[in-house]
Structure 1
């Protein structure tokens, strides 16, 4: 257990040791100034992310507390900032930062170009620090013909009509279409996808990521791996940014499920996770590097090639 009083007093002591005293103030005013600083440190500030004592004291981030040039409001699924109810992130006005209410129209335009005859439903999942994630559901109704009942009636009635070749010729042409009519039933076909948009498109190669996922899909035995359905690594698209669409693996988020599991269920889950590490550890490549996307394409019969990384000594 932590000493709560010691933790509360630690920032104040650190502040007073690193902040020069004003020698022009009387002793009692020194005490009042220290008390005000202590109260400011212990009073929580609204609408601000938790910061370390070093950040609050100096008002300047140290080398150990560097952050990207953005204002973080929280994002669902981001382990660094899991604030419930907030899924937006400001990234300097880039398309990745547009509110979902505005950005969804661009996604709908993209989906209509990919699935023109489908009904589209979107889900704002949020994502993490590296990608913005949107769920896509495509629905299409297909008509099915049910003719087996009336077809049997038409077959038996045709035997009777065949007994007369002349007198019932015209009657046969009238009755048979009526007996062979079919009933159509609608069947809805639904598919689930994930739209993944990189936060830093200049620092990500989607082709290399897709090759890595495809390699994992080939060696996977105890886990499911999403596959790339459509990949666009340019900005010439309705979204205006690179993206990849993957099939969505059904299941539940472990972070949401964990608290509702009993001890035995948690042990079983840990065993399943261990199988993933066991299976991946059985596969290796002779050199570290990046998988060549052209060598792992679906129609490629060549061996997997790796672009070897060259490390320079500092």
Structure 2
């Protein structure tokens, strides 16, 4: 049986290693077995004409853009007699629609657009079926100005960095205020862009080649005080029973240890009265756009909400170390997140971000117990599928054994 998660990891690695846009698109055509851009762009023009009736085909410009592991991205632009400037949009075409349905993107985008003030590109149209010119699901959004901050940050002035840090801090704070009633992903109950959407929250776990739904219920912003604790226990107990029933499965002992760690976190107070909030699980620099021409709000958009879930609030409080400890693409060690930055400028960046991020961020960001709890929740949602993940689980459990043995004063309580 193929290990789908491993396949995706290989594809992601190939994709992330490509820097040149033309090379990326040519290579992606081969890696993903996708249609060549030369013919694909004509299909995109047909979609554009259907979305904006009356557009002449020759007036539509199609741009090949660098996509990600899960989406092919294409730019659409045109100018009408009514518009002073060109209208710019992007079409997102999921590479694995069976594995990652379009609803994974639709629900958080529309939820946030309707119920928050976060910088989310507006959704214009979508089609969840193959009954269209692309013969694939797609979504069209307004195109936010700017570029990925990964390219812009090294050249930004200190004042521009401070403005971006303050803006991102407010974004983190806003996320911690968007509460939910169960662990899981948003699922749209209705999909009509002309009326406010309603949503369900679907508790799920990823296994080797499928996503299993444990429960589904209507979204509510009100949850029980122990919803995080009880939700994690349900997920791990399901995993334990399923893995134990398979004599060839190696993961049951890990499931048992995860159940024990969950109970210990609760006993020590770390999962008590812990709200569930909306969490962007891929909030990396590549998914943050900045517009260098905007001095007031340089962060123009937060992208790739496919992975958004309701989870314990500490999942939304992972420190963005790159803001005050930029390492030119090197891996960050979260254990160093709360160390005093070496330069005065970086100290100021960290302080400005923290003030804007607010109390919840400061409570959940740096404590070693919450850092380990973030890893635990990740295992709850996505499981263990490789030897490398086994090693990560063992390291987490070993470090937790050390942390829990310390006195409250030593743990910084």
Q: Normalized against structure 1, the TM-score is what?
A: 0.55
2:96 to 200, 204, 222: 200
Alpha-carbon distance in 2 for matches of 1:291, 1:260: 37
2:87 alignment partner, one of 170, 188, 191: 191
Matched, 1:128 2:68: yes
1:301, distance to aligned residue in structure 2 (A): 6.5
- Residue 122 of structure 2 corresponds to which residue in structure 1? 227
Q: Which residue of 2 aligns with 1:238?
A: 133
Measured after TM superposition, the shift of residue 218 of structure 1 is 2.8
Q: 1:296 to 1:304 in 2, by over 3 A?
A: farther
Contact 1:296 1:304 in 2 (8 A): no
Q: Compared with structure 1, are the counterparts of its residues 289 and 68 closer, same or farther at alpha carbon in structure 2 (3 Å cutoff)? A: closer
Per-residue CA distance 1:55-76 (angstroms, 9 max, x = gap):
xxxxxxxx9x94449778965x
Label 1:297 to 1:284 Cα distance change in 2 as closer, same or farther (>3 A): farther
Distance 1:240-1:195 versus aligned 2 partners, 3 A rule: same
Q: Contact 1:228–1:247 (CA<8 Å) still a contact in 2? A: yes
Deviations along 1:10-38, one digit per CA (max 9) or x if unpaired, are xxxxxxxxxxxxxxxxxxxxxxxxxxxxx
Highest Rg: 1 or 2?
Answer: 1
In the alignment, what sits opposite 2:52? 115
Is this contact kept in 1: 2:92–2:139, CA < 8 A? yes
CA shift, 1:228, in A, is: 2.1
Aligned to 2:154: 259
Q: Could you tell me how far apart the structure 1 residues matched to 2:184 and 2:110 are?
A: 16
Deviation of 1:259 after TM superposition, in Å, equals 2.0
Structure 2 portions without partners, runs of 5+: 205-213, 215-234, 241-413
Cα distance in 2 for partners of 1:71, 1:298 equals 33
Q: Distance in 2 between matches of 1:140 and 1:120?
A: 10
Q: What is the CA distance between 1:230 and its match in structure 2?
A: 1.3
State yes or no: 1:313 paired with 2:239.
Answer: yes
Name the residue aligned to 1:278: 173
Following superposition, the deviation at residue 204 of structure 1 comes to 2.0
Q: Higher RCO, 1 or 2 (CA under 8 Å, sep at least 6)?
A: 2
| Deviation of the 1:280 alpha carbon | 0.5
CA RMSD after TM alignment: 3.1
Q: How many residues align?
A: 200
Query: CA deviation digits over 1:100-143, x for unaligned, max 9?
Result: 2221121122222333422211111121111010111122225x
CA contact (8 A) 1:70 1:90 kept: no
Aligned to 2:145: 250
Give the deviation of 1:300 after TM superposition.
5.3
Aligned-partner SS, 1:87: helix
Q: CA deviation at 1:245?
A: 0.8
The answer (yes or no) to whether the contact 1:208–1:293 under 8 Å persists in 2 is: no
Per the alignment, do residues 238 and 70 of structure 1 end up closer, same or farther by CA in structure 2, a change over 3 Å counting?
farther
Determine if contact 2:76/2:89 at 8 Å carries over to the other structure: yes
Structure 1 residues 204 and 68, CA, compared in 2 at 3 Å: closer, same or farther?
A: closer
Q: CA deviation at 1:296?
A: 7.6
Structure 2 vs 1, CA of residues 130 and 191 (structure 1 numbering), >3 Å: closer, same or farther?
Answer: same
Give the aligned partner of residue 164 of structure 2: 269
Tell me, in whole angstroms, the C-alpha distance in 1 between the residues paired with 2:37 and 2:169.
Answer: 37
* Correspondent of 1:216 among 92, 96, 112: 112
